[in-house]
């Protein structure tokens, strides 16, 4: 009887020791280390697209544009492609007539991103009525002149000043030289009368002279 009791006590002790031993090794698995955060990279600056907004328009002739949503206003011209927008601009009636005479309306409207230096009516008037009629009646002579006023990339005034020299769609006409900055910006010596005008596919700068290919 005594030996049975001792055997029972021993068995209980063995079970207790086994339980303790088992509990000491039954540890929760260690959590996997969190991956180190990758160094944050600074966002790349947005590309300068040359697209402008109404509050960036500048120049002494801008006040002559219609206001609100009237045809020829900034709000009206903005959603339209450039030739269509120009057709409502009261500063550009002679230019619009020249563009139509050379069948360049669709060509200008279909461009993706361009800069247009648009001579105001007084600039064409300075040529004289006879000269203007001569050009309008000779599209082959007039088209290269108009193409010399268009650059195949979209620039705002700041971008023009940084570029300094531009190549027009009439590359054989020579470079367009940009001088000055801000309100004193010029292109081949022509002053900006109203600049940074936004349209759907172009930024427009109304200028006070007709640019002549081959003279710069």
Could you tell me how far CA 215 lies from the centroid of its own chain?
A: 30
pLDDT at 51: 96
Helix (H, G, I), strand (E, B) or coil at 172: helix
CA-nearest of 194, 195, 196, 201 to 79 is 201
Q: Render pLDDT for 139-191 as a digit per residue (tens, 0 to 9).
A: 999 999 999 999 999 999 999 999 999 999 999 999 999 999 888 999 999 99
CA-nearest of 163, 207, 168, 162 to 189 is 207
* CATH number given to 54-207: 2.30.180.10
pTM for the model stands at 0.78
Q: Cβ(50)–Cβ(156) under 8 Å?
A: yes
- Would you kindly state where each structural domain of the chain is located, as residue ranges? 54-207
Asked if pLDDT for residue 78 goes beyond 80, the answer is: yes
Report percent pLDDT > 70 for the chain: 78
């Amino acid at each position: 009887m005594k030996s049975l009791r001792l055997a029972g006590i021993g068995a209980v002790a063995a079970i207790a020791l086994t339980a303790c031993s088992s509990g000491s090794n039954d540890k929760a698995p260690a959590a996997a280390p969190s991956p180190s955060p990758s160094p944050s990279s600074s966002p790349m600056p947005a590309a300068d697209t040359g697209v402008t907004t109404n509050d960036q328009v500048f120049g002494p002739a801008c006040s002559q544009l219609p206001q609100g949503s009237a045809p020829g206003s900034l709000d009206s011209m903005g959603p339209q492609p450039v030739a269509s927008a120009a057709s409502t601009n009261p500063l550009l009636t002679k230019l619009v007539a020249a563009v139509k005479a050379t069948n360049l309306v669709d060509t200008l409207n279909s461009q993706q991103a361009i800069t247009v230096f648009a001579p105001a009516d007084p600039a064409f008037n300075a040529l004289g009525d006879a000269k203007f009629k001569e050009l309008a009646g000779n599209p082959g002579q007039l088209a290269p002149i108009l193409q010399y006023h268009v650059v195949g990339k979209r620039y705002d005034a700041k971008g023009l000043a940084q570029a300094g020299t531009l190549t027009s769609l009439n590359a054989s006409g020579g470079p367009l030289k940009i001088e000055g900055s801000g309100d004193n910006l010029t292109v081949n010596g022509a002053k900006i009368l109203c600049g940074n005008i936004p349209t759907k596919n172009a930024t427009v700068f109304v200028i006070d002279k007709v640019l002549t290919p081959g003279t710069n």
